[in-house]
Amino acid sequence: MNPARAAAAATALIGPLLLSTGCGSIATTGVVESGRAGTVRLAAGPETGMVYFVPPGGGIAPVMLLSGPSHPSPNYLLSRLLAGPDTATQEAGLTTELPGVDNKMMLQAGITIGDDGSSVKVKLPFPIGPLSATARRQVACTALAGVRVSPAPQVTLVDPEGKQERVECGAAAD
């Protein structure tokens, strides 16, 4: 074998090997998923009510109603949701995507549970057409947290004009 060709062959063999093994330094990586998330305990028990608001990063986050009654009714939770984030919640940067309502409108809102417990109707005092996906999730999750039924029932929104729409608490798969 010609020495020049031998050297070229050796380089061709070893070169990619050294490159592929990334000789000498620790390479950076992309994001690698590794195991489940950490489950924390909540300071308040399951009897405490829970409504959902929108953190700055998107999505929805639960907020516990420490000042509210224990085992609150679904209607109470809905009224707290429609009332918007309180001071502590606002300080943490959480907002709502639902439109503001006054007391008269608040009376029109209400949650009715189906007889078999497999469906929940949420009556809203404003049209549901312009609502964002995040706003619908806020309502759906708050309603489910209020009825506390497992498996989760189907949530349907109803607006003053009688228009109905099914919503999901889980994030839409996109």
**For binding to another protein (CB under 8 A), which residues are involved?**
1-4, 6-7, 10, 13-14, 17-18, 21-44, 50, 55-59, 61-64, 66, 88-89, 91-94, 144-145, 148, 150-152, 171
The smaller minimum CB distance to another protein, of residues 40 and 161, is found at 40
Specify the residue, 122 or 146, whose C-beta has the smaller distance to another protein. 146
One-letter amino acid of 119? S
C-beta closer to another protein: residue 83 or 158: 83
Shortest distance, position 125 Cβ to another protein, whole Å: 25
Q: Are strands 119-123 and 61-64 parallel, antiparallel or unpaired?
A: unpaired
Nearer to another protein, 90 or 164 (CB): 90
Rounded to a whole number of angstroms, the minimum distance from the CB of residue 152 to another protein is: 7
CB of 35 to another protein, least distance (A): 5
Residue 21 is given by DSSP the state: H
Q: For residue 48, which amino acid is it?
A: T
CB under 8 Å to 32, separation ≥6 — which residues? Answer: none
Of 147, 148, 132, 122, whose CA–CA distance to 96 is shortest? Answer: 132
Residue 161: CB minimum distance to another protein, A: 32
Please say whether the beta carbons of 80 and 51 come within 8 A. yes
d(CA 167, CA 159): 13
**Of 42 and 107, which CB lies nearer to another protein in the complex structure?**
42
Distance CA(173)–CA(22), nearest Å, equals 37
CB of 18 to another protein, least distance (A): 6
Task: Give CA–CA dist 2/136, Å, rounded.
Answer: 75
